[in-house]
Amino acid sequence: MARTYHFVIGSKDARQRLDRYLTQHLPKTLSRAAIQRAIEAGDVTIDAHPAKPHREVRSGERVVARLDTKLQASSSKPGREAWSVEPGAWDRIRPEPIPLEIVYEDDQLLVVNKPPGLVTHPAPGHWSGTLVNALAWHLSQAPRSRLQAAKVGLELGAESVASLPRMGLVHRLDKDTSGLLVVAKTEMALRLLAKQLKDRTMSRRYVAFVEGHVPYNEGTVKAAIGRHHKDRKLMAVRYLGGRQAVTHYRVLKRFGEGARKGAGGTRQGAREPSPLAPRPVPLYTLLEVSLETGRTHQIRVHMAHLGHPVLGDPVYSRHPAGYWRGLGITRQLLHAYAIRFLHPATHQPVQCRAEVPEDMRRWLSGYDLTTVFEGGKRP
């Protein structure tokens, strides 16, 4: 049900971004992403004129927002990925005994090491066999958990999965990206962890194999990302209409013939790829990657933009899935290996790490990732 909100900007709120101002003053059920989409759709005006999300508000201006209070983070626009589940979808979600590797857990949150091939949350075509189905089962076995699934038949406490926006997921990983995900068990935990993510104080680090030899030992990609102008299912670097995206990277190792000194002068080894890889590509690079922002497919899009797409990526590389299967690669070789954040209740730092899966280890060719996993130099 739509509701209209009226605001007059005060002097204390002047010079704030419009989307940030509305996030602070609208009901908490509306996420900033949903508000941004409403602004872009023309549902928000300043002095009766449409505006952009980044527009700075001025003292005395009148802001009118006509929004659906049940919008959460979903959208009716085609091609937009929604965090929330469509009405009635909870009736299709059932707890399933899918094995999970829990790296950390307490009454407020848990951190899971998602395997490759596991869809994060239910969506059309994937109402079962997802991480959420697995979490529902796991939490049904944990009586102390405050996160319950009352709408899917679990009696665990006062709150429910459906009552938490995004089903408690603080962030997501692509189906074929492995690694660490944080899941909130309480509304407070979700709110405070999401704030850390938005404020860029939650550290997320990845390891990735990319095509070719990346020429510089470290670097930063600052390129806005938005929906592809032709295929709305894909993302692309968009200088007009994209959202700010920042990715840092550093070279850990260059593999294959021609490996040589990097631009920074650090000598790189020249060992051949592992014989376990049936038909290895001649040149590839192992990167450590960290994110400032969290756009959809960000690392994959930015690496392709650099001319070094992630190995095994049939979407953003120049090769189809069949080519990668011929090399023994069945998914993009990207793994979220480390995450660091402040605990929402104790405010103490929580650090988690997850070793790379076997399908990535065989491309290391003897390279030891121990120093990286033990918290070596960051990008």
How would DSSP label each residue in 109-176? Answer: EEEEEEPTT-BSS-BTTBSSSBHHHHHHHHHHT-TT-S---GGGT---SS--GGGSGGGGBSS---TT
What would be the CATH architecture of the domain defined by 2-68? Roll (3.10)
Q: Enter the tokens of residue 44.
A: 């928000």
Residue 49: beta bridge partners? 46
Amino acid 66: pLDDT:
87
Q: Which residue has the tokens 């070719």?
A: 212
Q: Where are the domains of the chain?
A: 2-68, 89-191, 201-373
Beta-carbon contacts of residue 61 (< 8 Å; ≥ 6 apart): 8, 9, 46, 47
CATH 3.40.50.11810 holds for 201-373: no
Amino acid 359: pLDDT:
95
201-373 matches 2-68 in CATH topology: no
Distance in angstroms (rounded) separating the CA atoms of residues 25 and 114: 35
Contact present, 129 and 92 (Cβ < 8 Å): no
Which residue in 72, 305, 325 sits closest to 210, CA to CA?
A: 305
Which H or E run contains 6? strand 2-8
Q: Which CATH number fits domain 89-191: 3.30.2350.10, 3.90.320.10, 1.10.357.10, 3.90.1150.10?
A: 3.30.2350.10
Buried/exposed code over 136-158 (b: 16+ C-beta within 10 A; e: otherwise): bbbbbeeeebbbbbbebebebbe
Which residue in 195, 185, 198, 72 sits closest to 138, CA to CA?
A: 185
Q: Which residue has the tokens 């926006």?
A: 165
- The stretches in the chain having pLDDT less than 70 are 1-2, 68-93, 124-125, 142-166, 258-281, 374-379
- Angle, helices 18-25 vs 32-40, to 10°: value is 130
Contact present, 284 and 210 (Cβ < 8 Å): yes
Beta-carbon contacts of residue 223 (< 8 Å; ≥ 6 apart): 237, 239, 242, 245, 302, 305
DSSP 14: T
Distance in angstroms (rounded) separating the CA atoms of residues 279 and 158: 55
Amino acid 36: pLDDT:
87
Angstrom CA distances, 259 to 214, 267, 269, stand at 10, 9, 7
DSSP 78: T
Q: Which amino acid is at 102?
A: I
Q: Enter the tokens of residue 356.
A: 């790379």
Amino acid 267: pLDDT:
38
Distance in angstroms (rounded) separating the CA atoms of residues 94 and 122: 10
Beta-carbon contacts of residue 240 (< 8 Å; ≥ 6 apart): none
How many CB atoms sit inside 10 A of residue 177's CB?
Answer: 26
Q: Are strands 49-50 and 109-114 parallel, antiparallel or unpaired?
A: unpaired
Which of the residues are catalytic?
A: 174
pTM of the model: 0.69
Contact present, 203 and 340 (Cβ < 8 Å): yes
